[in-house]
Structure 1
Amino acid sequence: MTDYPRAVLDMIGPPENRYADPAAWARLETQLGTELPADHKTVVDAYAPTQIDGHLLLSHPATPRRTLSEVIRDTCRAWSRTRWERDWTNDPGSDPRLICGLRDLAFGTPQGLIPPASPDRGGIIFLAPRVHGFPGGICVACGDGDRAGHPMPFAEWLYRFLIGEDMAGYKSAAYYPGPVKLESMPMTPDEHIRVTYGPDRGMQTWTPRTRRPQGL
């Protein structure tokens, strides 16, 4: 069985843990009323705040600006105010309530959906308490209005995202051969974006694989 947290760290490169702070996570989890997945916290501690391969932004709860707490609050507030419902009669498999095993959807609550990172290819990803019966997992609000479920932990989702699978909606793959690119986000007026690269993945000739998420 693949150790996905380890596989992600090996692919991205040595962790910097610039803002690793258990107290910041404790404050965020108190606000949410639930613990966040350990693999998500490990990856965020290792690299955030950073943009990975130009398409996935990781925020951290301990940064001096634009914290993960703010990202979660703002995203959940916007989605709570948005009329997300639609008639799923012709496509019940894309009903997020069915995907997540919930009677009603909520955002930023213990039994609701929580955004762990910010992709920029049209979809929004959420941690869900259950996905297709799997305890935990990822529910994607795709750019075309559909919903998809990935019954897997965050680290596995991220690993598959990085190797070019469609993890943020159908045909959302964004794979770049060579090392993973990291753009560290500046947190003070004196800082600038710092670009670094992970180790050689040995995947320069790899062809991205289209993977239809469950629920589409």
Structure 2
Amino acid sequence: MTDYLRAVLDMIGPPENRYADPAAWARLEAELGTELPADYKTIVDAYAPIQINEHLYLSHPATSRWNLSEQIRDTSRAYSQYWVERDWTNDPGSDPRQICGLRDLAFGTPQGLIPLASTDRGETIFLAPQVHDFPGGMCVACGDGDWAGYPMPFAEWLYRFLIGEDMAGYKSAAYYPGPVKLESMPMTPDEHMRVSYGPDRGM
């Protein structure tokens, strides 16, 4: 069985853990009323705030800029206000309620969808209570307005995203050969984005 967390860390490169802070995670989880997945927290601590391979953004709960707690609050509020139920009769597999086994959608709550990451293509990756009966799977709001479910932990979702699989709906692959590109987000207005690359991955 693949250790996807180990595979992600090996692919991206040695963790920096610049902002690792258990107290920041404890505050965020107390606010949410639930614990976030351990693999997700390990990856965020290792590299965030960062943009990975041109598209995927990860924020961190211990930083003043690119703050994960603020991102979760803002994203949850926006989805709560603008979520519009549509007619899923012809495409029930894209209904996030069916994907997650929920009667109604809520955002930013233990019984609903918690935003973990986003892309510059308008996609949002949510932690769901379950996805197709898999506990703690990933539910993705795709850039085209559809939703997709991935019955797997975050580390596996990220690994598959990085190797170029469709991880945000149909034909959503963003495959870049060579080392993973890492863009560390600037922490002050005067700071520039720092670009680095992971190890060779034979791709």
Q: Pick the TM interval, shorter chain.
A: over 0.9
Per-residue CA deviation, residues 58-102 of structure 1 (Å, 9 max, x unaligned), is 100001223000111111100000132111112222111111011
Q: Which moved more, 1:127-136 or 1:142-151?
A: 142-151
C-alpha contact (below 8 Å) 2:59/2:117 kept by paired residues: yes
TM-score normalised per structure 1: 0.91
Shift of residue 178, structure 1, vs aligned partner: 0.6
Partner SS, residue 195 of structure 2: strand
Q: 2:173 corresponds to which letter in structure 1?
A: A
Query: In the alignment, which residue of structure 2 is the partner of 1:180?
Result: 180
Q: How does 1:61-76 map to 2 (within 5 A)?
A: 61-76=61-76
Query: In the alignment, which residue of structure 1 is the partner of 2:13?
Result: 13
Unaligned runs of 5+ in 1: 204-216
Q: Which aligned runs of 4 or more in structure 1 are off by greater than 3 angstroms?
A: none
Query: In the alignment, which residue of structure 2 is the partner of 1:25?
Result: 25
Query: In the alignment, which residue of structure 2 is the partner of 1:207?
Result: none
Partner SS, residue 51 of structure 2: strand
C-alpha contact (below 8 Å) 2:130/2:137 kept by paired residues: yes
Unaligned runs of 5+ in 2: none
Q: How does 1:135-150 map to 2 (within 5 A)?
A: 135-150=135-150
Distance 1:180 1:139 in 2: 24
Number of equivalent positions? 203
Q: Report the identity percentage.
A: 85
Q: How does 1:119-130 map to 2 (within 5 A)?
A: 119-130=119-130
Q: 2:52 corresponds to which letter in structure 1?
A: I
C-alpha contact (below 8 Å) 1:121/1:168 kept by paired residues: no
Shift of residue 168, structure 1, vs aligned partner: 1.4
C-alpha contact (below 8 Å) 1:123/1:169 kept by paired residues: no
Q: 1:119 corresponds to which letter in structure 2?
A: T
Distance 1:123 1:170 in 2: 12
Shift of residue 190, structure 1, vs aligned partner: 4.3
Q: Aligned pair 1:170/2:170, yes or no?
A: yes
TM-score normalised per structure 2: 0.97
Distance 1:118 1:147 in 2: 14
Q: 1:4 corresponds to which letter in structure 2?
A: Y
